[in-house]
């Protein structure tokens, strides 16, 4: 597969994604839009896409972020 075919495949895949605004994401996470903006500055939070001056989040990245924060216990395992 050439570089251009690979790029076309990636662009097609991205075009099928659903993107959310920071307000939508903040509401879904139960945080303020300001907290989400602070997370972007500090490098925490879900990955985002910058389109000109707009910031949007893919639903896929939001799911990945939430799953990465999922825990089954409050205890921290001891390191041996």
The Cα 38–Cα 27 span in angstroms is: 15
> Mean pLDDT across the stretch 33-55?
96
Check: CB of residue 38 under 8 Å from CB of residue 20: no
> What pLDDT, on the 0 to 100 scale, is given for residue 80?
39
pLDDT for residue 40 is more than 70: yes
> What pLDDT, on the 0 to 100 scale, is given for residue 46?
97
> What pLDDT, on the 0 to 100 scale, is given for residue 4?
62
In the block, tokens 């662009």 appear at: 11
Which residues 6+ apart lie within 8 Å of 20 measured at CB?
Answer: 28, 56, 57, 58, 59, 62
Better pLDDT: 32 or 8: 32
> Mean pLDDT across the stretch 19-35?
97
Please give the share of the chain, as a percent, with pLDDT higher than 70.
Answer: 74
Domains of the chain are 3-68 (1.10.10)
> Mean pLDDT across the stretch 73-77?
72
């Amino acid at each position: 597969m050439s570089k251009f075919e690979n790029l076309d495949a990636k662009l097609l895949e991205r075009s099928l994604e659903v993107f959310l605004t920071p307000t939508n994401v903040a509401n879904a996470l139960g945080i303020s839009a300001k907290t989400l903006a602070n997370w972007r500055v500090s490098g925490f939070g879900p990955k985002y896409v910058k389109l000109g001056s707009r910031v949007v989040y893919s639903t896929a990245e939001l799911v990945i972020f939430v799953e990465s924060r999922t825990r089954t216990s409050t205890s921290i395992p001891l390191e041996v």
